[in-house]
Amino acid sequence: MSKKIALTQKSLLKEYELQGWWPLLSLHSSSGKNPTKTGSLNGYHPGDYSYPKTENERFEIICGAILTQNTAWPSVEKALIALKEKDILSPKAITSTPKEEIGKAIRPAGYFNQKAERLKLIAEFFTGLNGRIPKRSELLKLNGVGPETADSILLYAYSQPEFVVDAYTKRIYSRLGAIKSEASYDEIKEISQKELTRNTKILQEAHALLVEHAKRHCKKKNPSCTECPLLDLCEKKGVRLS
């Protein structure tokens, strides 16, 4: 095995430092920071892996994982802020609030009718857990929860060692030659967890760093390769990508 994924993590950590995902509204005006390129809130907590500390923070992360589907994070932040301002960012409130009202609040996140319905489903599911950690198989049975969303919930809301594979991950790893371009979600996840070890802190940072790197350098079109910290590892360097 080339160990490119482990080397990638080491290089990105040196370049961008700790990211402190998942951002939380409760940290926005207090001790939070913002090491990212596009996030607008100072809700990140680099080096502090004690979050979420409350069930409300846990549920906020879960809502964020649903809202961020096919949507940029700054838009999700606006939706979460609107939910909080309307005092409906809780399982009980979402369960009892009409879908139309929830949809109006989360409109910035797009697909608001569909996502409002999914928030109500996840709120009911969350309440039924009674504080226990859900199984991945349980999450995957929920309408609108695929592998990426399920692993995001487990990794960030419940601190479970499940690596999150998203479009950024696949793009970077395939360009580096660490995976085949046709590799499946489960294949990429398995390779990543073998190289990085199933350590929650490492897996959280690895995913967050890949997202940050994709936004700064490894863009889908016209990537900025000249000063890329992964240039020495990349098999696509010098190849025109568009």
Residue 15 is encoded by which pair of tokens?
A: 């370049």
pLDDT tens sequence across 139-189 = 999 999 999 999 999 999 999 999 999 999 999 999 999 999 899 999 999
Binned at pLDDT 50, 70 and 90, residue 32 comes out as confident
Rg (CA), the chain: 18
pLDDT at 2: 62
Helix axes 73-85, 55-67, angle to 10 degrees: 130
pLDDT tens sequence across 114-134 = 999 999 999 999 999 999 999
Domains 4-17+166-233 and 50-157 fall in the same CATH topology: no
Helix axes 4-16, 167-176, angle to 10 degrees: 110
Prediction pTM value: 0.94
pLDDT at 90: 97
Q: Where are the domains of the chain?
A: 4-17+166-233, 50-157
Pick the CATH number of 50-157 from 1.10.10.10, 1.10.340.30, 1.20.1250.20, 2.30.42.10: 1.10.340.30
pLDDT at 23: 94
DSSP class of residue 229 equals T
Q: How far is CA 34 from the centre of its chain?
A: 15
In three-state secondary structure terms, 33 is: strand
pLDDT above 50 (res 196): yes
pLDDT at 35: 87
pLDDT above 50 (res 242): no
What average pLDDT does the structure give for the chain?
Answer: 93
pLDDT tens sequence across 54-112 = 999 999 999 999 999 999 999 999 999 999 999 999 999 999 999 999 999 999 999 99
What CATH architecture is 4-17+166-233? Answer: Orthogonal Bundle (1.10)
Residue owning tokens 């928030």:
119
pLDDT above 70 (res 113): yes
Least confident of 6-20, 107-121, 129-143, 223-237: 223-237
For 128, residues 6+ apart whose C-beta sits below 8 A from its C-beta are: none
